[in-house]
Amino acid sequence: MGEQIIVNSERSDLGQVRIADEVVGIIAGLAAGEVEGVHSMSGGFSGGIYDMLGRKNFTKGVKVEVGQVEVAVDLAIILEYGYRVPEVATQVQENVKKTIEGMTGLEVVEINVHVHGIHFPQSEDKKKEEPRVK
């Protein structure tokens, strides 16, 4: 990972507290994943590279724009089949806002949820299929 960007800086009598934008992205991704109905984050190409290398990318599907006191978040998610999209998206927005504000003190001004797909559970028949070739 490249250069660490300082996104929030708060001065106190004891010194300075700095929060990197990647930290805010990790918080947002984990908070979104906690919501029932969210199967996973959609990371596109860069997420696929992390998966191939066997590394966990906690900012997969998350884009944050962080200022000194405010943050805007874009989330790309894949939902579980059977859940209502508007309800899950609203719950994601609420949980991400609450978690970021509670952990960082930054004000969340915008959370955009982009649904990139629906995950369908595999049926038992497909799991037991014999391979086509030997």
pLDDT at 1: 42
pLDDT at 3: 44
pTM value > 0.95: no
Domains, in order of start, for the chain: 19-127 (3.30.70.1350)
Residue 4 CA, chain-centre distance (Å), reads: 19
pLDDT at 8: 57
Token reading at 64? 């944050």
Q: Which residues of the chain have pLDDT under 70?
A: 1-12, 44-56, 123-128
Sign of CA dihedral 75, 78, 89, 95: negative
d(CA 39, CA 55): 19
